[in-house]
Amino acid sequence: MKKISYGLLLSLFCLPACIGLKKLDPAQGDGNIEIIFLQLNDVYEIAPIENGKAGGLARVAHLRKQLLQENPNTVTVLAGDFLNPSLIGTLKQDGKSIKGKHMIESMNALGVDYVCFGNHEFDLDYKDLQNRINESKFEWLGGNVLAIDSVIDVNTGIKNEDIHPFFKGTKEQKTFFKNEKMLHFKDADGTTAEIGLFAATMNANEKEYVRYSDVFKSSQASIARLNGQAERPADLMNQPKPVVADAIIGLTHLSLSDDKTVASMNLAVKLIMGGHEHYQIKEKVGKTYIHKADANAKTVWIHRLKINKKRQKVCLKSNWLKIDDTMPEDTATARVVQKWTDVANQIFKKSGFNPTEVIATLSEALDGREASLRFQQVNIGKIVSESMMAAAQNKTDCAFFNSGAIRIDDQMGGKITQADILRMMPFGGKLVEMDITGKELNKVLYAGLLNRGRGGYLQWTGISFSDIDKTFKINNIPLDINRKYHIITNDFLLTGKESNLSFFTESNENISNLSKSNPANTNDLRNNIQQAVIHFLKQKNK
């Protein structure tokens, strides 16, 4: 097998720390065995992005096959967040919402082995999530996440909660997800290894059908079981002792700080393959390494776990690899990706979009990374809010929207197509104009600042904020709480469902002269924020 030559390999290192392993059985091989883990996380796009230069699950599938040729003991994992949000997932096919179906088909074709839940898996309703689970060919680890079914007592009519692990199958025939899994490996000379894999998911998306247990207690309990240290029920005391892991690895979707806490509480963990941050991370806590890849398969981690049972050592070498247009594609996976790309393009064309049309050529990349736009004002927010003002029917003083409306988590530069804008703002939505008192506008803008780091952080134009005196200016003039302003925003923000903005609704007495889009008027760009941005960029780049 030839060595992988394409892409950029970085961060080669070896864990010097040793752990006590089970004594080697003389009949078992040479005592050396290597296991490869191919890690992805936070994948929302099945096709290449950045004008085809980065990502693409068909490329990852080819890499996986190459790794399997190198070593049959190769495991592919995805550390949460793949069912939502995505552009294709927002569409309907034959009257039914796609809602992640394209992701499952692509991941099945790729050959994913194990996943943990990410917080965005629970963006789906219970029924759709169960359908996606049943369609998957890979194995899910439940970790600290449980499902809740409401059960009505036929005698009393009282509603009770049935709390249980998520499962694959039907109500009549279920395979419940485990919190952790012991993976068994054997190489050509007969050497075996047991790798313990545990899962953990952040409590960041509370739904009525989901119950989160304490992530730290759950992780500790899983690790204890994998280490053979869990307390055994009395009726099992005479049974053979449980298998003890040669190495323990986490598959998590947690904040980096929580991953660090799990590592500091559990010294036996050698590696945590994590998700959530959307950018490449390599951290070390004690003897535990924490790794996260860039979102949308722009990069992956390849972890080689080498176990020497004679010397009782575990060595880890991790390679960070860019997935780019120098890589071949796996044919079978590419067919699935193309199928869904064609479906999406047909739907977009019926809705009046031309996905492949180049609408602008940008010399400066638009920064749509969540780590930027949820913390500060960025150029992509300015472009969108300027598009909103340009779409207004009346002269507006300013425009703003929630940064969570942008879900690309990437930078966009060079040639920009209509598809890029659709991918950038997959939820679309309408625009609404209104008059608002200065006092209430000030309250709204301050609430946006309180949402720093979250999707409720506001991006704007016509507005500035002084960190020195903590005051706002509208068009370079201090905000006057005693006057009214005419503004435009996205309709979602006016529902009151955004964090710290429950008061911002149509019924607010400080809002008047509400002006909504006219669905019958195809020239009214307020009907769709995506169309407003596309039109604005086309006009700007003529």
The domain ranges of the chain are 9-332, 354-540
pTM: 0.83
Q: What pLDDT is recorded for position 154?
A: 64
Three-state SS at 535: helix
Q: What is the DSSP letter of 10?
A: E
The C-alpha atoms of residue 488 and residue 495 are separated, in whole angstroms, by: 14
Q: What pLDDT is recorded for position 7?
A: 42
- Phi, psi (degrees; rounded to nearest 5) at 88: -65, -35
Measuring CA to CA, which residue among 492, 488, 496 is closest to residue 524?
Answer: 488
The CA distances from residue 104 to 178, 300, 481, 490, in Å, are: 20, 19, 51, 31
Peptide bond into 85 cis (omega under 30): yes
SS3 sequence of 405-455: HCCCCCEEEEEEEHHHHHHHCCCCCCEEEEEEEHHHHHHHHHHHHHCCCCC
Would you say 55 and 48 are in contact if contact means Cβ atoms under 8 Å apart? yes
The C-alpha atoms of residue 249 and residue 39 are separated, in whole angstroms, by: 12
Pairing of strands 484-490, 398-402: parallel
**Which CATH number applies to 354-540: 3.90.1200.10, 3.90.650.10, 2.60.40.10, 3.90.780.10?**
3.90.780.10
- Helix 126-135 to helix 101-110 angle (10° resolution) is 20
Q: What pLDDT is recorded for position 371?
A: 80
Q: What is the DSSP letter of 22?
A: P
Q: Residue 335 belongs to what H/E stretch?
A: helix 331-350
pLDDT by 10s per residue, the chain, length 542? 444 444 434 333 343 334 444 444 545 678 999 999 999 999 999 999 887 889 999 999 999 999 999 999 999 999 999 998 888 998 988 888 899 999 999 999 999 999 999 999 999 999 999 999 999 999 999 999 999 997 766 676 677 888 999 999 987 889 999 999 999 999 999 999 999 999 999 998 889 999 999 999 999 999 999 998 865 555 545 556 678 999 999 999 999 999 999 999 999 999 999 999 888 999 999 999 999 999 999 999 999 999 998 888 999 999 999 999 999 999 999 999 999 999 999 999 998 899 989 999 999 999 998 889 999 999 999 999 999 999 999 999 999 999 999 988 778 888 999 999 999 998 899 999 999 999 999 999 999 999 999 999 999 999 999 999 999 999 999 999 999 999 999 999 999 999 999 999 999 999 999 999 999 999 999 999 999 999 999 999 87
The CA distances from residue 81 to 84, 122, 124, in Å, are: 7, 9, 12
Q: What pLDDT is recorded for position 239?
A: 55
Would you say 110 and 103 are in contact if contact means Cβ atoms under 8 Å apart? no
**CATH class for domain 9-332?**
alpha beta
The CA distances from residue 98 to 22, 129, 407, in Å, are: 48, 11, 18
The C-alpha atoms of residue 203 and residue 276 are separated, in whole angstroms, by: 12
The C-alpha atoms of residue 280 and residue 271 are separated, in whole angstroms, by: 15
The C-alpha atoms of residue 346 and residue 340 are separated, in whole angstroms, by: 10
Q: What pLDDT is recorded for position 170?
A: 84
Residue 443 tokens, joined = 């309250």
